[in-house]
Amino acid sequence: MSRIGKKPIDIPAGVTVTIDRNTVSVTGPKGKLEQEIHYKAVVTVDGNVVNVDRKDETKISRSVHGLTRTLISNMVTGVTQGYVKKLDIVGVGYRVAQKGADLDLSLGFSHPVVFAPPAGIELKAESQTKIAVSGIDKQLVGQVAANIRKLRAPEPYKGKGIRYEGEYILRKAGKTGKK
């Protein structure tokens, strides 16, 4: 039995979980999320607890069991607390400015890069070198943060670029001088 899959998910006050065939909907104070679940997973709501079981003991059922439980748990956390990913900008002349909901990034190109957030995501320039990506969908927050990082990924020689907060960049030694 999956150790993660067999844990029950507690539903906090103000959150409702509804199941319609193979779709789980979670509504809370921050919004509403929906997730299609695999047909081999069985989701039940008992009062303030969500339980995830599997239909049989096939390999696909066992692999989907823990995944389904984690996805539902992430939805409950998202509609109550939300998720935040922070990014740091490192490099001389690299900076970010807020323009309405969009970010205006100066990343050493000949032109500024304007990044518009998708629906459900809030971008905030906390300073000239810090960005916060927040939202209720964990997957979408991580994907948007990865897309921003991809605009100028950290390079291995000086470490310049956009990196996650606390990310360690493995640095290479540059060319040595004469022999």
For the segment 66-121, what is each residue's pLDDT rounded down to a tens digit? 999 999 999 999 999 999 999 999 999 999 999 999 999 999 999 999 999 999 99
Cα–Cα–Cα angle for 107, 110, 111, nearest 5°? Answer: 75
Residue spans of alpha helices (H) in 30-175: 59-80, 138-151
Overall average pLDDT of the 123-137 stretch: 96
The model's pLDDT over 37-65, given as tens digits with 9 standing for 90+, comes to 999 999 999 989 999 999 999 999 999 99
CA distance 36 to 67: 12
